[in-house]
Amino acid sequence: MPAGDALGLALLNTWQRGFPLCERPFEAIGRTLGLDEGEVLGRYARLWQAGALSRIGAVFAPGAGGASLLAAMAVPPARLDDVAATVSAHPGVNHNYEREHATNLWFVATGRDAQQVERLLRSIEQATALPVLRLPMLRPYRIDTAFDLQAGLAGAAQPTPAAAAPLAPADRPLAALAEEGLPLTLRPYDVWADQLHGSTLAVLDTLSRWLAQGQLSRFGVVVRHHELGYTANAMAVFDVPDALVERHGAALAHTPGVTLAYRRARADGWPFNLYCMVHGRDRQAVHAALSHASAQAGLQAYPSAVLFSLRRFKQTGARRFAHHAPHACPAPELQEPAHAEP
């Protein structure tokens, strides 16, 4: 997005949440900006083509359905590119990054259930002859990748509920479409209704219900942070006594600048159980935010590590409901280049 593009900023920043759930959403956005709906739609198409916009769609809350797992590997540097390619080749892997640490390859594996995810991880171990650390989430404290594009750091203090109720089986085909993203057309919800052989009103009612019940974290614009200037990001991990992790995790969730905070299971050789993620425009800003977060959450005394991202081998939207998708061409999603991370 070109510097000084106030309209592009408004279309991306404002509509990360609360995207209009009505028959002509681009017309509704246009009314707020004094623009014709065709111009709004064209602007979104150009933002997508430029790489600033990933999709317009659903971000589901933990527990809404499917299975996912954070995994990590300690890969010899000489093998990293080849192993990363093997990992990224799996359709169930939707994020795959190099981080600054001896445990240097981190990825997210998704599937329709835990058994499918485990089969994916075993196939990676067999193909690479390297062990995979399994780091399941035990408690989310904050999961929100909406970005304030006018600030120097992503994220605002907004805690995440413990878990959402799973979607009803009848709702999962719509969930698959909502993960893929809205088609960029004047009446996008009509397209989904046609694919589902239902009504537009039923589609809109279901999306509204998911938001009200907390099964959707948000519905709206999903931006590409790196392309918008958030080029530095790091994951901080802490080894916190289990009896105290809830208190410290809740404190992290209320710290501005933290986009992700959660408790994960420990693994052999990996003692850390509390994680947070910070995205910023440069490493100095990220270091400062992590220092502030650690102090505010009372974590300075615990063993910790900071893992900056180096390369982004793969980043696509999660596809926890993909196997429920109706037979149709999905909304396009731009594959990002291999250089930085979430």
DSSP 216-254: EEEEEEEE-TGGGT--EEEEEEE---TTTHHHHHHHHHT
Residues 329-337 have a mean pLDDT of 40
Residues 142-160 have a mean pLDDT of 57
Residues 5-10 have a mean pLDDT of 82
The least confident of 223-232, 245-254, 294-303 is 223-232
Residues 266-279 have a mean pLDDT of 96
Residues 253-267 have a mean pLDDT of 92
Query: Nearest 5°: phi and psi at 119?
Result: -60, -40
pLDDT (0 to 100) of residue 66? 82
Q: How many CB atoms lie within 10 A of CB 77?
A: 8
Task: Report the DSSP pairing between strands 304-315 and 93-99.
Answer: antiparallel
Give dist(CA 221, CA 317) in Å, integer.
12
Q: What is the pTM of this model?
A: 0.79
pLDDT, tens only, 16-73: 999 999 999 999 999 999 999 999 999 999 999 988 888 999 988 878 888 899 999 9
**19: in domain:** yes
pLDDT (0 to 100) of residue 147? 60
**4: in domain:** yes
Residues 291-300 have a mean pLDDT of 96
**199: in domain:** yes
pLDDT (0 to 100) of residue 340? 33
Query: Nearest 5°: phi and psi at 314?
Result: -160, 140
pLDDT (0 to 100) of residue 64? 84
pLDDT (0 to 100) of residue 152? 47
Q: Name residues whose C-beta falls within 8 Å of residue 163's C-beta, 6 or more positions apart in sequence.
A: 61, 62, 63, 140
42: left (phi over 0), alpha (psi -120 to 50) or beta: alpha
Residues 235-243 have a mean pLDDT of 97
**252: in domain:** yes
**67: in domain:** no
Give dist(CA 198, CA 155) in Å, integer.
37
pLDDT band at 328 (very low <50, low <70, confident <90, very high): very low
Give dist(CA 76, CA 131) in Å, integer.
12
**70: in domain:** no
Residues 138-162 have a mean pLDDT of 62
pLDDT, tens only, 78-131: 999 999 999 999 999 989 999 999 999 999 999 888 999 999 999 999 999 999
Structure tokens at 200: 């537009």
The proportion of the chain whose per-residue pLDDT surpasses 70, expressed as a percent, equals: 86
Residues 5-23 have a mean pLDDT of 90
Domain range enclosing 202:
1-56+136-342
For residue 2, pLDDT beyond 90: no
Structure tokens at 29: 């956005």
Alpha helices in the chain (DSSP H): 6-13, 25-33, 37-50, 80-88, 114-128, 172-180, 188-196, 200-213, 245-253, 283-296
Residues 5-26 have a mean pLDDT of 91
Which is nearest to 273 in space by CA: 248, 296, 292?
248
Alpha-carbon dihedral of residues 314, 320, 324, 329, nearest 10 degrees? -30
Q: State the burial class of residue 247 (Cβ atoms within 10 Å of its Cβ: 0-12, 13-18, 19+).
A: exposed
pLDDT band at 316 (very low <50, low <70, confident <90, very high): confident
**98: in domain:** no
Average pLDDT of every residue of the chain: 87
| Residue 107: strand, helix, or coil | strand
* Residue 199 C-beta-side C-alpha neighbours within 13 Å: 3
The total domain count for the chain is 1
**128: in domain:** no
Does residue 7 or residue 159 have the better pLDDT? 7
Structure tokens at 270: 């990996």
For residue 332, pLDDT beyond 70: no
Top mean pLDDT of 16-20, 129-133, 176-180, 280-284 is at 129-133
129: left (phi over 0), alpha (psi -120 to 50) or beta: left
Residues in a beta bridge with 56:
221
pLDDT band at 226 (very low <50, low <70, confident <90, very high): low
- Burial track 201-216 (b if 16+ CB lie within 10 A, e otherwise): eebbebbeebbeebbb
- Provide the CATH number for the domain around residue 156: 1.10.10.2890
